[in-house]
Structure 1
Amino acid sequence: MENTILGIHHITAIAGDAKRNFNFYSNILGLRFIKKTVNFDDPGTYHFYFGDEIGSAGTILTFFPWGDAIPQGRRGSGMATEIGYSVPKGSLEKWVARFEKYNVIYNKPAEKFGQRYLTFLDPDGLKLELYEVETDDRKPWETDEVKADIATRGFHNVTITLNDITGTAGVLTDIFGYKLAGQESNRYRYTTDTVNAAAIVDLVELKDEKRGHVANGTVHHVAFRVKNDEILMHFREKVAASGLQITPQIDRNYFHSLYFREPGGVLFEIATDNPGFTVDEKLEDLGKGLKLPAQYESRREEIEAHLAPLN
């Protein structure tokens, strides 16, 4: 099998109130809640996963909802600052109406690289965008209010803001196999042709931008996709050979991962397709039960008592 990066696997962000986060993404944005578990390093807090019906790579947005005591983050250099979703052409006006109905903060539709897009903020201030895409064959998840004519198909792109894009661009091109596809002002668009969607990384260069602060309402890390463990370890060798520090392989129950901080300061992950989200729940039951990493199962009663109810 060819050793390639297959676009974005998932993106993980930080939120405050768990119930508010759950309601926004499952009810207002209309994503499927595919997994309710806890943080591997902090079992007293949730780890939420949202995506399409099966939790396909390229659709998975995850959150650490750390509660309202967590300080507010700040978008800035050295971090992923915008998450872009793909939506059907002609759907932005319907999204505007929906955001008006639910008091979601948004900007008027604009255009980047010839595509219309709509910027909005989630309740914690996380910046997201909806891009109208001519063709996206990914099957949408539908809810009572969010039907296929407007539903998200998964990620379109992620935007990373940097004081200098050189080192980050080198990781994308020399290690991950991306190519520079276009430039608009200080925005550089990198794409991979190994997949048809979730294939875009935009680098925005702002020389004087202050360093961002990763906390509530910001992106924690961006994960890139590989097919299996063999290819994962191939990329571990490539990253290490470039002089960057990278972790050993880590089992995250639903995928296997490596982590490294790219030269611009953003935490990158490389994650496998295997074993997937049905490893501990049937497809029809995804997101219904609290799934704990094996090391915390003996503490289930204590952990459940501490976590806030979502209903």
Structure 2
Amino acid sequence: MEYQLKRTGAALLTLLALLAGIYTFTAYNEDSISDSLPKLTLQQVLPATSSNEHCNNQMDSDILYGIGLRLFENGDYAPAESCLIMAAPNHNRAFCYLSIISEQAESKSTQERNRDSFNYLAYSAARNDWCAEYGIYQTYLYGTKGVPQDKDLALLWLERSALHGYPESQTILVDHYESQNDLAASYAWSKIIATDQVDALRARMTPEQLAEGEEHYTELSSTVTSKEAMYAEAREEDVGRYSAVIQMDYPDIFNGMTSEQRYSFVKQAMLTAIEQPYIQRRSQVTSYIVIARRAQIEKPGVNILQNKNITALLQTDDLTVEEVIEQAQDIINSTYM
């Protein structure tokens, strides 16, 4: 059995092979799969944009990215697009969101929307972003964004997204290979993501299939982006998210800090917050970062987690972030000033 990488008018690459009944994993050639995409430069993909009330080109790129995400999640697509365009040269993930936003551009024709949406994904996917790779998979799977349906090519982009660590892509592969009765491949991917299907698959497999599955798992585990790396990537993105929220709602917090000092403080405060068993929501993390910074301004080196009144306040469920921060300021004023 061979899975062929197809491109319009030409076959590009054989990715996987089952030879003489033995499953052999062959790592794909990154350049060959990327050849299925148009060759695009940053200048070709990103349109010109201008500052808005939220973003300008003098802001740090991680804050631009974080503000863009917040506006996107709130459905404010026009300013979100501007912020993400400014952030995109330093944040490849921004292209995934720009692709979605471009689909909503009512001022453009369907052809223009399809072109822009696909090109954003293509540029980012060629640079190994799992989000864009998953988007390319869906595009070829269903034949959207003006490209013809190609399920074989879709599968290869799904595998590439999975290899770059995206859990959703990995889960789809488990089910896909099981549906194809390729239990060795399904088993290997199940072990990668540690699903409950591992034991069920093992019970159905012959000793030969199990040996093939274990061999494939060993090869995959040395290739797939680790969960630790994915976690670290998410934490880096969160620094921008929290910095953006604070920049928008409490801009005084970063006064007097360089970009490096701000980044370092937010990252360390965020990591400290999520280590606390009673801090489980993003709103609590935001509150902690702001309160910790305000306390630090008044008394450098102070640890607010040693203040029982502040820790009790952080655990209160019936207060908004604004109310928590306001009441914490009263505690800071009476304790540290």
Short-chain TM bin: under 0.3
TM-score, normalised by the number of residues in structure 1: 0.23
Q: Which has the higher contact order (CA 8 A, sep 6+)?
A: 1
Say which structure is richer in strand: 1
TM-score computed with the length of structure 2 as normaliser: 0.22
Larger Rg: 2
Higher helix share: 2
